[in-house]
Amino acid sequence: MKPTIETRLRVRYAETDQMGVVYYANYLVWMEVGRVELCKTRGFNYRDMERDDGVLLAVAEACCRYRSPARFDDEVIVKTWIEEANPRMATFAYEMRLAEGDRTLATGHTRHIFVNREMRRARLPEKYHAMFGLPSGPR
């Protein structure tokens, strides 16, 4: 299995819908939380990459498969890893589980294209290659 990080969060009341379960779009927010934490554990701050290097990760695709509901005050574990990467794009994968009982809530992925501040396709600067699991040096 690829290197994975775990982020824990607790479901807030505002994240639930009229049925008392987590509203589906919140899983995408939790994926973002996991992705940002993964970047930090890999040694860089996503905000700094945007500010200092002008490289942004534009979402090109998002997918989430819902398996079981989460409810208010449940503790959720978001497992995040880089499924695939190259100098032009990266795919992050996610698994969201209930901490109590380890039940799978949802799985998914997001595919991101590296772009510049003008939203034109860009290449990932070499200084980030190792952090995305890419080889350094000329290709």
Q: Which of 17, 48, 52, 73 is catalytic?
A: 17
DSSP code for 114: E
17 is catalytic: yes
Distance CA 81, CA 134 (A): 14
CB atoms within 10 A of CB 123: 11
AA letter at 115: V
Distance CA 107, CA 90 (A): 17
Task: State both tokens at 88.
Answer: 């032009």
Give the residue numbers marked as catalytic: 17
